[in-house]
Amino acid sequence: MAIAASSAVAVVLLSACATAPNVSYGSPEQVETVTTEFGSTDLQMIAEKMVNSLLATPILSSGKRPVLYVHRVKNRTDEHIDTKSITDKIRVTLLKSGRVRFSAVNEVNDEMIKQLEYQTSSGMVDPNTAKSIGYQVGADYFLYGEIASIKKEAGRVEDVYFKFTMNLVNIETGLIEWADEKEIRKQAKRPLMGR
Amino acid sequence: MLNPKRYVWLILLFLVGCAGTAPNILHVQAGPGGLSSKTEEINDSSLSRKLTFGEVSIRPLQLGSSMEAQVIIQNTTKRDVIFEYRFMWYDASGFELSAVTSWIPAYLTGKEARGFKSTAPGPNATNFKIMVRRPHSITDTGS
């Protein structure tokens, strides 16, 4: 009887060890504070600030729908940050506002040239539907920026400061017509016990 | 044996511990000259004792193009308050307009009042709401 009971306990314990991790879906809009490293909420906070600020500039609110392209965001932090996902989020939200247009030239220019050559020179495409060379729209402005961080650790406390800066440059004049920054501070305190 | 009164306290503590994170909401209707009307929806009375919605300002950006809104949030306590807020914009038909609408963590020191700004995603925006709730990070879920 005692052997049977202890076997049952062992089976229960073993099955508990073999249990798969508890996976659940969450809202992408939820605030994420798992670690102090750059995370989804930081990306969303930066995008929110930049989009609000850009939409409020006379350049974007004049109704002329200027053409922009994103040059790049330089990562000056000591961690890997996919800066393109930050600029993609900003670009998508700005495009959805309908107040701006984006040129894809700096991202997929090779593909466009290949496709135009195929349509105009291969003899495979109906000339009535083939797109002509020389009609790309020239960009009016481009966006560029950088992200930097300062990280400090003392005892159980870790403090991280991120600063994201973005600029909008008028291609014709070379003037920076708009600039804004977003500062983020994150702190973590490790528990006394544990890792 | 536990006193029945203690059971009541335990149940109350449990209920407080399980209190939801339904946000307090300020619904704002914009008119041609700026603010038309505003309505408060209090779902978290304990938070509304710490943070109150103040003045709402709406200004056009360019003729007929879009608008920018600012809502003052006041920390009525002497202590620092950490919270989350979120703006959502709608057109006249009630359709939500696409914009960055994530929950944003924010911080107000004791007695501080600060303006929280948002720009309408398009010229068809007619009203918005700002929601405020206690910190509700991803690590709080699943508990």
Mean pLDDT of A50-77: 91
- The neighbouring-strand residues paired with A144 are A72, A167
**Residue B61's CB: how many other CB atoms inside 10 A?**
20
User: Who contacts B112 (Cβ-Cβ below 8 Å, separation ≥6)?
Assistant: B74, B75
**pLDDT, position B25:** 97
Cβ distance B61 to A61 less than 8 Å, yes or no, reads yes
pLDDT over 90 for what percent of chain B?
56
Higher pLDDT, B120 or A63: B120
Chain B within 8 Å of A180 (Cβ-Cβ)? no
Chain B contact set for A98 (CB, 8 A): 122
* Residue-by-residue DSSP string for A150-178: EEEEETTEEEEEEEEEEEEEETTT--EEE
Rg of chain B (C-alpha set): 18
Sign of CA dihedral B84, B88, B94, B98: negative
Nearest to B62 among A62, A93, A98 (CB): A62
Q: CATH number for the domain including A47?
A: 3.40.50.10610
Cβ distance A44 to B100 less than 8 Å, yes or no, reads yes
Which SS3 state, helix, strand or coil, does residue B49 take?
coil
Chain B within 8 Å of A34 (Cβ-Cβ)? yes
**pLDDT, position A33:** 86
- Structural domain of A60: 36-103+138-189
Residues A146 and A155: their CA atoms lie apart, in Å, by 30
Band (pLDDT 50/70/90 cuts) for residue A190 is confident
Chain B within 8 Å of A58 (Cβ-Cβ)? yes
* Residue that is written with structure tokens 């392209």 in the block: A69
Q: Does A130 map to a domain?
A: no
Q: Does A109 map to a domain?
A: no
- Structural domain of B121: 19-135
Q: Which residue of A has its CA nearest to B98?
A: A96
Higher pLDDT, B99 or B37: B37
Q: Does B52 map to a domain?
A: yes
A110-167: pLDDT as tens digits: 899 999 999 999 999 999 999 998 999 999 999 999 999 999 999 999 999 999 999 9
What ipTM was assigned to the predicted interfaces of this complex? Answer: 0.76
Cβ distance B138 to A26 less than 8 Å, yes or no, reads yes
Q: Does A178 map to a domain?
A: yes
Q: Does A161 map to a domain?
A: yes
Chain A within 8 Å of B143 (Cβ-Cβ)? no
Residues A180 and A144: their CA atoms lie apart, in Å, by 11
Q: Does B10 map to a domain?
A: no
Chain A contact set for B66 (CB, 8 A): 55, 61, 99
Q: Does A69 map to a domain?
A: yes
Q: Does A119 map to a domain?
A: no
Closest CA to B85 of B121, B35, B44: B44
**pLDDT, position B18:** 45
List the single best residue of B85, B138, B139 to mutate versus A (max A Cβ within 10 A).
B138
Copy the structure tokens of residue B33.
């000259």
Which SS3 state, helix, strand or coil, does residue A123 take?
coil
First CA to last CA distance, chain B = 30
**pLDDT, position A131:** 92
Cβ distance A48 to B84 less than 8 Å, yes or no, reads no
Nearest to A97 among B104, B117, B122 (CB): B122
CA dihedral B38, B44, B47, B53 (to 10 degrees): 0
Q: CATH number for the domain including B73?
A: 2.60.40.3230
Cβ distance B138 to A33 less than 8 Å, yes or no, reads yes
Number of domains in chain B: 1
Q: Does A153 map to a domain?
A: yes
Q: Does B1 map to a domain?
A: no
Chain B contact set for A29 (CB, 8 A): 86, 101-103
The DSSP element (H or E) to which A72 belongs, if any, is strand A67-75
The DSSP element (H or E) to which A10 belongs, if any, is helix A2-17
- Length of chain B, in residues: 143
Residues A101 and A147: their CA atoms lie apart, in Å, by 24
**What global pTM score does this model have?**
0.81
Q: Does B70 map to a domain?
A: yes
Report the gap between the CA of A105 and the closest CA in chain B (Å).
25
Q: Is A120 exposed, middle or buried (0-12, 13-18, 19+ CB in 10 A)?
A: middle
Residues B106 and B84: their CA atoms lie apart, in Å, by 6
- With vertex at residue A28, the alpha carbon angle to CA B108 and CA B16, rounded to the nearest 5 degrees, is 55
Q: Does A194 map to a domain?
A: no
Q: Which residue of B has its CA nearest to A99?
A: B122
Report the gap between the CA of B86 and the closest CA in chain A (Å).
10
* Residue that is written with structure tokens 């009541």 in the block: B8
- Length of chain A, in residues: 195
Number of domains in chain A: 1
Higher pLDDT, A78 or B136: A78
Nearest to A45 among B104, B118, B120 (CB): B104
Chain A contact set for B64 (CB, 8 A): 63
Q: Does B47 map to a domain?
A: yes
What's the DSSP call for residue A134? T
Higher pLDDT, A107 or A81: A81
Cβ distance B142 to A28 less than 8 Å, yes or no, reads no
pLDDT over 90 at A84, yes or no: yes
